[in-house]
Amino acid sequence: MIVTFVPATLRTATGEVNVRRPLIVGVVNATPDSFSDRGDSSTAGSIRLVEQHLEDGAGIIEIGGESNVTNRPAVSAEEEIGRILPVVKAAAEAGAVISVDTYKPSVAAAALEAGAAIINDISGGGNDELMSVAAEARAGVVLMHTTVEPKSQRWDESGYPDGITTHQILFSEDRMEELNHLGVGRDQIVLDPGPDFGKTPRQTVDSLKGLPQLIGLGCPVMLAVSRKDFIGAINHKSPSERGPGTFGALAFGLDCGARLLRVHDVAGTRDFLAVWESLRGDREVDPGLRISDEIRRERPRDTSGQSADA
């Protein structure tokens, strides 16, 4: 399952991004109704999370102002802009490459003007006005496979009669041709198989098994698998307990050739990548490397009732 062609760079509104090696995309949900985050979604809390993600090794920060949970109404473009704009500006001042998760043209325009580089469109690239905004700014575009409108879900076991991978390939090729006519080149596009979007857990698994074919279209591929429902369904775990399953999906996708890892746990993903790259030979392991005594073993538990340092 080794891929021979992975594009080296992605062209964005703020310059080229190296995607030859794995790149962590740290999620910042500036919205109170995220499906997985229980943290501080205020502006100050979101900015602190941006800073933490950058410190932990994120190469891209993705900011969203509307959750895709299906049991909440959509927010207005004005409210979404109000949620994300201060966070985008702070991330830009910190030197981050910024992706914004939105399907609304006015939100995308405001974010790009404030320093965003990439638009992640969960509506699947079918909104010409939104894509024209991205084209005018020369922004990168995440083209996600979906057959449903944002904030909706459909589970149809017969929904892809020719197979999910065949559908994704045809969908992506058609959308990329449309984007080219609007002025968005292939070197600006990231493909996303869209885990859970219009897919049952089995269809999501089958779509990820088709990653080598999707990568064969010649664009970088993003793994937006972090804490997704298909992992919860397989392991019967709530979002906060889906970390191990997320790493399993990331490992599979990386071996297929995907390189952008959209995750909530940036520090954990950084550590996972360090081991994955070391085992592959992509990261040098010094022959003289040794583990220090401080971290070799857990400290004995103190049963005396006193501090272990007393």
Residues contacting 117, CB < 8 A, separation 6+: 12, 13, 14, 15, 17, 97, 98, 99, 139, 140
Where are the alpha helices (H) located in the chain, listed in sequence order? Answer: 43-56, 77-93, 105-113, 128-137, 164-182, 201-209, 211-215, 229-235, 243-256, 266-280, 293-296
Structure tokens at 252: 């599979």
Of the two residues 77 and 2, the one the predictor is more confident about is 77
Distance CA 204, CA 218 (A): 21
Parallel/antiparallel/unpaired status of strands 222-223 and 260-263: parallel
pLDDT of residue 40: 77
Provide the 3-class DSSP secondary structure of residue 12. strand
pLDDT of residue 152: 74
pLDDT digits (tens, 9 = 90+) for 40-84: 778 999 999 999 999 999 999 999 999 877 667 789 999 999 999
CATH node for 9-296: 3.20.20.20
User: Which pTM was predicted?
Assistant: 0.91
pLDDT of residue 34: 60
Residues contacting 244, CB < 8 A, separation 6+: 235
pLDDT digits (tens, 9 = 90+) for 97-127: 999 999 999 999 999 999 999 999 989 999 9
pLDDT digits (tens, 9 = 90+) for 246-298: 999 999 999 999 999 999 999 999 999 999 999 999 999 999 999 999 999 88
Residue type present at position 100: V
pLDDT of residue 71: 61
The arithmetic mean of pLDDT across residues 145-165, rounded, is 86
The separation between CA 151 and the C-alpha centre of its own chain, rounded to angstroms, equals: 17
Distance CA 2, CA 181 (A): 32
Each domain of the chain, given as residue ranges in start order, spans: 9-296
Provide the 3-class DSSP secondary structure of residue 94. coil
pLDDT of residue 37: 59
pLDDT of residue 203: 96
Alpha-carbon distances of 39 from 45, 133, 155, 192, rounded to whole Å: 8, 32, 30, 26
Average pLDDT of the chain?
92
pLDDT of residue 223: 98
pLDDT of residue 74: 82
